[in-house]
Amino acid sequence: MTVDVALGWAIDLLAVLLLALGLKGLSKVRSARSANGLAALAMGLAVLGLLIQSPLTAAAWLWIAIGTALGGLAGLLTAQRVPMTAMPETVALFNGCGGMASLLVALGVALFQEPGGLVEAISIVVSVFVGAITFSGSVVAMGKLQGWIGTPGWTQGQVRHGLNIALAVAALVAAIALPGNPAGEALWILVGASTLLGIGVTLSIGGADMPVVISLLNSYSGVAAAAAGFVVGSPLLIVAGAMVGAAGLILTQVMCTAMNRSLLNVLFGGALGASAGGHVGGGGDEAGYTRITSCSAEECALALEGAERVVFVPGYGLAVAQAQHALRELAKLLEAKGAEVSYAIHPVAGRMPGHMNVLLAEADVPYEQLAEMDTINPEFPRTDVVIVLGANDVVNPDAKNDPASPLYGMPVLEVDRSRQVFVVKRSLGAGYAGIRNALFELPQTAMVFGDAKAVLQSLVTELRSAA
C-alpha cells in the first residue's frame, strides 16, 4: 500500500467517525448547528481523501476547482435566500441533486471505464435506476409544492398503473442486460425508463402527501449514494448513503403512521388533496360553514389575561407570516403574568417533519416547551386557552369522529377538548386535504381572521396596555 493510499484511507476513516457524530448531533436542536458543521467537514475530508488516492491531470484539477466553486456558490446563495417556508421545496431539490450526482457517477464509470466485477456492475445498475428516479421524482415534488405542477386527472385512474408497470418492466429488462454491455443501449433504456418512472409515480400524488414523498426520495438519494460509493470505492459514501437511506425510511414510516396511511396507499392509492391540483394549502369551500363565531384580537387578549395554561399550535400559516418572533414575544408576556405556556407540535405540522421545531428555534423558544402530540393530547382538557396559528388538518376533530372523512383515523392534536380555542387564519380556506374543518364550528371555538404576525402583534399590544 502506497503512502497516498494509506493517507487517503486514514482520512476516510476520520470522515466516517465525524459523519456519525454529526448525524447523532442532529437529533437535538441545541447541537444541530455544530453537528451540521461536523457533517460538512466529514464530507470535505472524504473528497480530500479520494483526491489524494487518485492520480489526476491538470485539466481534471481545473474541472474539479470550477465545479467546487460553482456548487459552493450555489449552495451559499440558496442558504442565504431561501425562506423557511420554502425549505421543503429546497430539500426536494437537494434530493434531486443527490440522485443526479449518483447517476452521473455511475454513467461515467459505465461509459469510460470497464466495471471491475459483478458487484460494481450491480452497483452501477442500482445507482442509475435509483438516481434517475430520485432526480425526476424530486423535480416533480418541488414543482408540486411550488404550485407549478398540478395533478392531472388521468393520473388518478388505472391508466397510470399500466404506464408505471410498463416503465418498471422496461427498466428491469435493461438492468438485467446492462452488466453484459455497460455502455450499450441497455444503459440508456434504463436511464430513460427510470426517469419516466420517477415522474409517473410522483405526478399522481397530491400535495397533502408530498412531505411523505420528499422523505422517501431522501431515502432513495441515500441508496443511490451508497451504490455510487461501491462504484467509485468510497467507504464514506457507502456509510453516508446507508445512513441517509435508513434514516429516510424511518422518517417516512413515522410520517405515514402520523397520517394513518400506509406507504403503498400514499404511492399507489390515489392522491389526498389532489382535488386542489396538488397545490398545497388550497382555498376550500368557505360557504360550507354555517355556525362560525369570529372575534377580535382584543376579545382574544381578554381570554388570555385570565388563562393559567395556554397552548400554541403552530402551523404552516405561522411560517408563511414569519410570525415566530411575535409568538415568542406573546409567550413571554403570558409567562410574566404567571401562565404556563407550551407549544403542541404535530409530526406533520408545516410541510415536513421538524419544520415547526426549527421555525420556533429561530425565535429562541425553549426546547422544553415543545410538546409532541402524544404528550400534549392528555393535557388539553386542563388547558384554558389554545391558539391555533395557521394549522388546519392536524387539529380537525373529524379525524376522530367522522368515519366518512378522508382524515379518519389520522392522529390529530385534540384541541377540541380544551376549554377555549382561538383559530388564527386569513380565511376559512381548507388545508392540505382540501376539506372543511369541524373544529371551526364548535361552540368553544372562535376565529380570529388575519395575518398571523399582525394578530399576534395586536395581542401583544393589548396585553401590554392592560398591564
How confident is the model over 42-75, as pLDDT tens digits?
A: 888 888 877 887 777 888 889 888 988 998 899 8
pLDDT at position 393: 86
Task: For residue 312, give the 3-state DSSP assignment.
Answer: strand
SS3 letters across 179-246: HHCCCCHHHHHHHHHHHHHHHHHHHCCCHHHHHHHHHHHHHHHHHHHHHHHHHHCCHHHHHHHHHHHH
Return the pLDDT at 255.
Answer: 79
What's the confidence (pLDDT) of residue 235?
A: 78
Length of the chain in terms of residues written: 467
Strands of 445-449's sheet in order across = 370-372, 340-345, 309-314, 385-389, 421-425, 445-449
Catalytic residue among 393, 402, 416, 451: 393
Say which amino acid occupies 11: I
pLDDT of residue 467: 66
State the pLDDT at residue 188.
93
Q: 337: which 3 cell numbers?
A: 403574568
State residue 1's pLDDT score. 57
Per-residue pLDDT at 358 = 79
Has 393 been annotated as catalytic? yes
Residues of the chain with confidence (pLDDT) below 70: 1, 29, 115-116, 154-157, 207-208, 269-287, 351, 432-433, 467
pLDDT computed for residue 20 by the predictor: 84
Do the beta carbons of residue 23 and residue 15 sit within 8 Å? no
CB neighbourhood size of 398 (10 A): 21
